[in-house]
Amino acid sequence: MIAYGKQDITSEDIDEVINVLKSDFLTQGPKVEYFEKNLCTYTGAKHASVVNSATSALHIACLALGLSKEDILWTSPVTFVASANAGLYCGAKVDFVDIDSDTFNMCPLKLEEKLIEANKTNTLPKILIPVHLCGQSCDMKKIKELCDKFDVKIIEDASHAIGGKYLSEPVGNCKYSDITVFSFHPVKIITTAEGGAALTNDKTLLNKMNLYRSHGITRNEEEMMEASHGSWFYQQINLGFNYRMTDIQAALGISQLKRVDKYVSDRHRLATKYDKSFGSEIPLDIPHHINDTYSSYHLYVIRLQLEKINKTHKDFFEELRAKGIGVNLHYIPVHLHPYYKNLGFKHGDFPNAEDYYSKAISLPLHPNLTPVDQEFIIESIKSISSSS
Ligand SMILES: *Cc1c(COP(=O)(O)O)cnc(C)c1O
């Protein structure tokens, strides 16, 4: 099967990990801090807190912003479930803002309408999580303008988007948000096996996130509620978790981060090849490129023009899989999962998200996809869409 996404591990990566295994620290050694420093240098954010997944990063980001059970969190229905679950972990109510049909990202117009309505009924969210789907940034300027107006905090879910740019600046600099989250899962742009990061320009938020990632325990006397008993002393001042990243993972991350720009340019080369191969005679829509953004191209999503194809979305998808092409579908709209339906969501709630889901297919895209495999994928799509 040609994988839809796959990590790239070099001998340098392996050497870096082995060096940690031979060192004094497997976890909480110098590599964690060094990786955080490098992420800040790369993105331009002031602070970073690395953790064991983007899911954990989203959770501590919500906690640091004070999300609790009286509160509401909004995100996009077209995302991985973790973007929404973070709100539920904090006991908050979760709701969604439908996507724009061209960009697949949260629609700023829908957001504006929904904020105006929520303001009237006193049900404004405390936090908004826009998701940079496929690696292409949301319209952050507009989103920030709206959120500032209604006093809503912003966490960018940039799990897909490290290496991407918005208005010529790196995604992750937090210019338009309180916190930005990255994922380092192996299918994403760079990997630490499992891993994630939360970036911010606010030192107070950083301190809170660092507490939450490690049991709510502090060794900093200034944060303690009473005088230290001695140099062994620490205090738990919050209910935190064990969400820490290990030095082994951080060493891999440091090594991978050196190649992030190369990975993204490889992905652009492959995406351009797909774009050029699917001319207007092929009954599908290629991704829409938004001006002002440079996508990291985590995903290349085509949408079938089903009215021009003599088969169903499912059949099309299964035929590609049968040829050994590891296509995928990102994502089943979150509100249609049974868990969310039990919370009251139903079919029809977010029509653009549901329409997208009815025709989207993610094609294989990763730096080691060979020209031969890509050609095979392109030819297969052409032949499946023309045969009936
Ligand atoms: C992968 C992903 C996550 C979760 O990342 P993990 O590191 O696996 O926890 C969250 N949000 C989005 C949009 C993702 O793609």
Closest ligand 1 atom number to CA of residue 132 = 13
Pairing of strands 127-129, 72-75: parallel
C-alpha–C-alpha distance, residues 70 and 90, integer Å: 10
Distance 24 CA to ligand 1 centre (A): 31
Query: Within 13 Å of residue 62, how many CA atoms lie on the same side as its CB?
Result: 32
Pocket test for ligand 1, best of 50, 185, 330, 362 (most atoms within 8 A of CB): 185
C-alpha–C-alpha distance, residues 266 and 231, integer Å: 51
- Please, which residues bridge with residue 218 across strands? 235
Closest ligand 1 atom number to CA of residue 183 = 7
C-alpha–C-alpha distance, residues 83 and 70, integer Å: 19
Distance 82 CA to ligand 1 centre (A): 6
Closest ligand 1 atom number to CA of residue 131 = 13
Which own/partner contact pairs does 368-371 have at CB distance under 8 Å and 24+ positions apart? 368/6, 368/8, 369/2, 369/270
Three-state DSSP class for residue 25 = coil
Closest ligand 1 atom number to CA of residue 55 = 9
- Residue % of the chain over a pLDDT of 70: 100
Q: How confident is the model at residue 284 (pLDDT cuts 50, 70, 90)?
A: very high
Q: What is the pLDDT of residues 292-317, one digit of tens each?
A: 999 999 999 999 999 999 999 999 99
Residue 280 has pLDDT above 70, yes or no: yes
Find out whether the beta carbon of 85 lies less than 6 Å from any atom of ligand 1: no
Sole residue written with tokens 């600099």: 173
- Residue % of the chain over a pLDDT of 90: 97
The tokens for 46 are 């002031």
Find out whether the beta carbon of 157 lies less than 6 Å from any atom of ligand 1: yes
Residue 94 has pLDDT above 90, yes or no: yes
Q: Is the pTM of this model over 0.95?
A: yes
Mean of the pLDDT values across residues 261-290? 96
Distance 189 CA to ligand 1 centre (A): 12
Number of residues that make up the chain = 388
The tokens for 194 are 């499992």
Do residues 158 and 181 lie in contact, with contact meaning Cβ atoms separated by under 8 Å?
A: yes
Residue 388 has pLDDT above 70, yes or no: no
Find out whether the beta carbon of 140 lies less than 6 Å from any atom of ligand 1: no
Mean of the pLDDT values across residues 212-221? 95
φ, ψ at 17 (rounded to 5°): -70, -40
pLDDT of res. 346? 98
Going by CA atoms, what residue is nearest to atom 6 of ligand 1? 54
The tokens for 387 are 């045969």
Mean of the pLDDT values across residues 233-245? 96
Q: How confident is the model at residue 387 (pLDDT cuts 50, 70, 90)?
A: confident
C-alpha–C-alpha distance, residues 280 and 276, integer Å: 10
105, 106, 110, 116: CA torsion to nearest 10 = -160
Cα dihedral across residues 34, 39, 42, 44: positive or negative: negative
Find out whether the beta carbon of 53 lies less than 6 Å from any atom of ligand 1: yes
The tokens for 236 are 């738990």
Enumerate the H helices of the chain as residue ranges.
11-21, 30-43, 54-64, 82-89, 108-120, 140-149, 203-213, 247-257, 260-277, 313-322, 338-341, 351-357, 371-386
| Type of residue found at 179 | I
Do residues 254 and 50 lie in contact, with contact meaning Cβ atoms separated by under 8 Å?
A: no
Find out whether the beta carbon of 259 lies less than 6 Å from any atom of ligand 1: no
Q: How confident is the model at residue 194 (pLDDT cuts 50, 70, 90)?
A: very high
Rg of the Cα atoms in the chain: 22
Q: How confident is the model at residue 42 (pLDDT cuts 50, 70, 90)?
A: very high
Find out whether the beta carbon of 59 lies less than 6 Å from any atom of ligand 1: no
Q: How confident is the model at residue 239 (pLDDT cuts 50, 70, 90)?
A: very high
Mean pLDDT of the chain: 97
Find out whether the beta carbon of 79 lies less than 6 Å from any atom of ligand 1: yes
> In Å, how far are 92, 160, 304, 325, 350 from 356, measured between CA atoms?
27, 18, 10, 21, 10
Mean of the pLDDT values across residues 64-76? 98
